[in-house]
Amino acid sequence: MNMTWRLLVQRAPARGAWNMAVDEAIARGVADGTSPPTLRFYAWAPPCVSLGRNQPLAALDVDRCRALGYEIVRRPTGGRAILHTDEFTYSVVAPPDLPVMQGLVLDSYLRLSRGLVAGLARLGIRAEPAPGSARTGPNASAACFEVPSAYELMANGKKLLGSAQNRRARVVLQHGSLPLYGDLTRLVECLALADEAERAKLRLALNGHAATVEQLLGRRVSFEQVAAAMQDGFAEALGLRLEPAELTPVELTLAEQLLRQQYEDPAWTARV
């Protein structure tokens, strides 16, 4: 029997702090039993650099980010910096005892990757998870898309979709970024690097190791096309019945509180 989950497709791009506050509000609702397991699709505007939960703010050149018009937010999940623009973002929020989410972080990563792979296949992209042995080394840069971690998605030998997870006693939150088009090396301008030679070296590495949907397909696809493909891919690969819905009034109220008290708070952004 299929599991019934809520589907939230939020087509209007939103600020990074709001997007993170909504993910956190849903996670708290799932943890206390007032929100259902949820698959959410969303986008970002203006462009925003998100830091991993434990990544130091010093990894970024804050003045450069501001000059470029990029906002900065800290994610509730781990990982390294991502520039969110021209992308499709998904989040999965569900109790850890559901079959899809059981086990350790990498167990659920691998299961969820099947839904992502099936969705990408509907767009015409043949993707596969990076090996379970893939790990980010201590000398990796602050940029998320430089190298894949275990079970993140690769296509044509390049990283395509990166994900991060936060696992708690009563809820698992995983979200990930699929770049649709544009220059992936724009993130390099946001990082605190030693000199321009290091910046140029990282640009070259990102160009060689990561790809966008447009680069793989030779054409652009819309947010709506990706959302439809991912909805079908998750439903088929993970045995989900997805019911379109909206955020509840309780979730909206909590998200507004989290926006003010956490995700817009400079102390949270600079917490490490």
Active-site pick, 48, 65, 144, 190: 144
DSSP 8-state secondary structure symbol assigned to residue 46? S
d(CA 207, CA 88): 19
d(CA 85, CA 13): 10
Q: Is 144 a catalytic site residue?
A: yes
Residue 34 to residues 209, 248, 249: CA-CA distances in angstroms?
41, 10, 11
d(CA 160, CA 61): 25
Q: Measured at the alpha carbon of residue 181, what is the angle toward residues 235 and 131, in degrees to the nearest 5?
A: 55
What backbone torsions phi and psi does residue 94 show, to the nearest 5 degrees?
-160, 160
Any idea which residues carry the catalytic annotation? Answer: 144
